[in-house]
A and B are shown apart, each in its own frame.
Chain A
Amino acid sequence: MNNSLKNKITDQVFKYFAILSTMFGLVVLAIFLADILNQGLSRIDWSFITSLPSRFPEKSGILTALTGTVWIFVLTALISIPIGVAAGIYLEEYGKKTRLANILEINIANLAGVPSIIYGILGLEIFVRTMGLGGSLLAGSFTLSLLILPIIIVATRESIRAVPKTIKEASFALGATKWQTIWSQILPASAGNIITGIILALSRAIGETAPLIVIGALAYVPFVATSPMDEFSVLPMQIFNWISRPQKGFIINAASAIIVLLVFVFIMNGIAVYFRYRTQKKMKW
């Protein structure tokens, strides 16, 4: 067998293997989605969204969990975005390239891989106990912010680094200060990628359960949270709670709540894709 034929066969084998792998992932996802939709879709109506949880599955709704998720989303965004983006800018543009900075850099990247329950324990110690926030929305948001800060910092740094150095030079050469260059050139040019990173980080945050269980978020909250100091539940906790019930009705509720959560996450990912697409179209260099 000659070489070119061998190459061709390897090529083909690899191609079909890749297609097969991709198909496998897609099929599993499709089965999962079909199953969830099949179970839960019929249960979703306006009253499901606007009802408080109840002992009776047919009367139960996700109002508290959904508002909790929205609260957590907004608060976590307010806390993590300014801190994460500022830290990313600082590390990339101002931080001296010392040994310490190097160690810090490696560790921030690693932090993104720490199991989320560890953040829960940290949050329990710092926010719930030391700062006395209790099992409140604020404590939960701070904890989730800790969890996603590394992701936002890394995304910010990578987006900033992707802006060509020539842009920076051009700005400096016109007499711009460092801050002017960052604010008027680097951030606008990297905003699309930074926003994508932020949205992906936030969609991770609203899917988390473990750290919130640790800090004492409740599975059953009979009221809608009206302030950041209120106790709360979130969709994943509600789902977790329902799935562990024996009644069939609650299992259906769980499937419906999963659909709502998925829609939430899909919309956010859609926005992320849109921003990435827009930046790519606008920024050709």
Chain B
Amino acid sequence: MEEKKNKYKIETRNISVYYDHKKVLTNVSIQIEPNSVTAFIGPSGCGKSTFLRLFNRMNDYIEGFRKEGDVFIDNKNIYNKRTNVEELRKAVGMVFQKPNPFPKSIYENVAYGLRIQGINKKNTLDEVVEKSLKKAVLWDEVKDDLKNPALALSGGQQQRLCIARALAVEPSVILMDEPASALDPISTSKIEDLIHELKKKYTILIVTHNMHQAGRVSENTGFFYLGELVEFGNTKQIFTNPANEKTENYITGRFG
């Protein structure tokens, strides 16, 4: 298989996904630049999560999952037989819709990604935990309670902890599947500020149901409808002057 070098961080070529016989994504091709935020919007069940989970191969666990086409990250075909899925997931972090901290201490949540790599040196762990929590803008709130259970934190704090946990393994891509949908407005705006900050160093893909959020945080937006990427382009462009009628209908709230 030819792997042409280009400047894109992420690229899909004619990707289609099936669950058993049901086709949930159809011929999606997309190119994403490094250090950008790309939002994916679309009505429920149109395949946004499925698309996002292609990039860290989390769909592999779903029974009946099958795909056609290719996905490239850093010009490498990540569905290659030689791909080490664990290595891939260290490079492509994920934040889930519902905060899902481990039932362990705050410290151990952040350190887990390193521990599974065999890194157990206390100094290193201390450093990484602090650095990651600072990046996730949670450090000041928890620095005295690192030994407390993560589940005792508020929902918004838990979600930032999950972001810190993902950052600790130093990924270059972060996938976020509706990271703020379970949070209150203040926590949501904290997460959005955080995304702004993170994009300097990471390539971020975010699924959201919240149109305003997509407008606020992303440079580019893709609109999915019934498994097809109907429109993809500059966020402002899409929100003010969509090329496709379906996009316009969705954005103006005529369905969804």
Contact = CB atoms under 8 A, between A and B. Distances in A.
A185 B87 CA distance: 19
A10 B113 CA distance: 56
Given A173-B89, A175-B90, A283 B102 contact: no
Size range of the chain B interface in the assembly: 20 to 34
Contacts of A241: none
Interface in A138-172: 164, 166-167, 169-172
A187 to B, nearest CB: 12
A180 B116 contact: yes
Contacts of A171: 102, 112, 116
B58 interface: yes
Nearest to B152: A284
Contacts of A167: 100, 102-103
Interface string B168-185: 010000000000000000
Of A169, A170, A171, chain B has the most CB atoms within 10 Å of the CB of A170
Given A173-B93, A174-B89, A184 B151 contact: no
A170 B151 contact: no
B115 A284 contact: no
Contacts of B169: 174-175
Contacts, number: 68
A102 interface: no
Contacts of B94: 173
Given A174-B169, A282-B149, A284-B151, A169 B113 contact: no
Interface in B158-197: 162, 165-166, 169
A180 B166 CA distance: 17
Given A170-B162, A184-B112, A176 B100 contact: no
SS of A interface (majority) = helix
A166 B96 contact: yes
A175 B112 contact: no
B89 A172 contact: yes
A51 interface: no
B102 to A, nearest CB: 6
Interface string B95-118: 010101111100000001101110
Given A169-B96, A184-B115, A284-B151, A176 B102 contact: no
A174 B58 contact: no
A175 B103 contact: no
A97 B96 CA distance: 27
Interface in B87-146: 87-90, 93-94, 96, 98, 100-104, 112-113, 115-117
Given A184-B116, A282-B149, A285-B151, A174 B103 contact: no
A180 B102 CA distance: 14
A174 B93 contact: yes
Given A172-B58, A174-B93, A175-B117, A166 B87 contact: no
28 contacts: A166-B100, A167-B100, A169-B96, A170-B96, A170-B101, A170-B102, A171-B102, A172-B61, A172-B89, A173-B56, A173-B89, A173-B93, A173-B166, A174-B89, A174-B113, A174-B166, A174-B169, A175-B86, A175-B116, A175-B117, A175-B169, A176-B112, A176-B116, A177-B116, A184-B112, A185-B102, A282-B149, A284-B151
Interface of B: 56, 58, 61, 63, 86-90, 93-94, 96, 98, 100-104, 112-113, 115-117, 149, 151, 162, 165-166, 169
